[in-house]
Amino acid sequence: MEKDYRCPECGSRKIGKGKMDGYAVLRPADKLFSTGSPIIADICSNCGLIIQMRVRKPEKFRGQ
């Protein structure tokens, strides 16, 4: 279910999604050879504020 976000900076409800490319992956701190997960973000398309960021594959960060 999509959340009804409102930008805390400008009040806009125009929220887009973005993905960091290149080497911008987050890796688990305790797993040296993990490939990690891409980072995705919800971004206000009016003022550019990054509202939240998360990893696409959270299962890679579960403890043993």
pLDDT by residue (tens digit) across 8-62? 999 999 999 998 877 767 777 777 777 778 889 999 999 999 999 998 888 887 8
Residue 5 in domain: no
Residue 51's pLDDT is 94
Q: Is residue 3 included in any domain, yes or no?
A: no
Instruction: Give the range of the structural domain holding residue 38, as residue numbers without chain letter.
Output: 15-57
Question: What's the whole-model pTM score?
Answer: 0.72
Domain count, the chain: 1
Question: CA–CA separation, 42 vs 49, rounded Å?
Answer: 9
Burial class (CB in 10 A: 0-12, 13-18, 19+), 43: buried
Residue 36, in any domain of the structure:
yes
Examine residue 50 and state whether it is found in any structural domain, yes or no: yes
Let me know if residue 23 belongs to a domain: yes
46 lies in some domain: yes
